[in-house]
Amino acid sequence: MSTTSIEQLFVHNREWAAQVERDRPGFFTGLMAQQKPKYMWIGCSDSRVPANQISGLEPGEVFVHRNVANVVVPSDLNCLSTIQYSVDHLKVEHLMVVGHYGCGGVLAALEGLRLGLVDNWTRHVRDIRDKHIKLLDSISPQYRHDALCELNAIEQVVNVAQSTVMQDAWARGQKVTLHGWCYSLKNGLITNLEMTVPGVGGLEEVHAAAVEKVASRKRD
């Protein structure tokens, strides 16, 4: 258990900033001047899944939105506004929806656990569980959690692809590719779920192929 106090966080911050400036003089001045990331990351709020460190990207290189269980729904103006800003204004070229194995929100949805107010949010993941219940029932119980983490990321890519933001961007010829990934807490590696959507057309085929691979994927 960490014993770091709030006061120590300020100490760590000053030490980190000083070290960065020593190693890379002018880093913060350059960071202030522009923000031109090529990537947007939609991930889980889980503190063990930091986008920059996992992807090996520097501050300023990835635009990030996080929420419980990396969910994208048409009624969430927070998420959609972030997507719209990244696509329309920052001109990102790749948007990744990244789930992670061991996700507590997905587990709650899978097992119907009651956690409180967040149950209303994970209802979206329970809908995905219900949609794919036959597939999940065909998988050994010890692997169902992993499988639903993958299915959730795949379905959220569909939601992003069907959003007005992406439909408008693709209609005007903007090149933005969507990706569905899942991160492992066990080894720090990302699994490509092969849910890659480069533009309008072919979404159903890509989705069907990605879902089919969920049941056949080897699980360690």
Q: What is the pLDDT of residues 4-41, one digit of tens each?
A: 799 999 999 999 999 999 999 998 888 887 778 999 99
Domains delineated in the chain: 1-33 (no CATH), 35-216 (3.40.1050.10)
Note if the pTM is more than 0.85.
yes
Rounded-to-integer distance, Cα 60 and Cα 63, Å: 7
pLDDT value at position 126? 98
Helix (H, G, I), strand (E, B) or coil at 96: strand
∠ Cα 88 89 90 (to 5°): 110
Rounded-to-integer distance, Cα 220 and Cα 26, Å: 44
The model's confidence at residue 219, banded by pLDDT at 50, 70 and 90, is low
The residues annotated with a catalytic role in the active site are 44, 46, 48, 100, 103
Residue 59 has pLDDT above 90, yes or no: no
Residue 39: which of 56, 62, 55 has the closest Cα?
Answer: 62
Please give the backbone phi and psi of residue 3, each rounded to the nearest 5 degrees, phi first. -110, 15
pLDDT value at position 220? 55
pLDDT value at position 81? 98
Mean pLDDT of 71-96: 97
Bigger pLDDT: 213 vs 216: 213
Rounded-to-integer distance, Cα 220 and Cα 204, Å: 29
Q: What is the pLDDT of residues 172-207, one digit of tens each?
A: 999 999 999 999 999 999 999 999 999 988 999 999
pLDDT value at position 1? 47
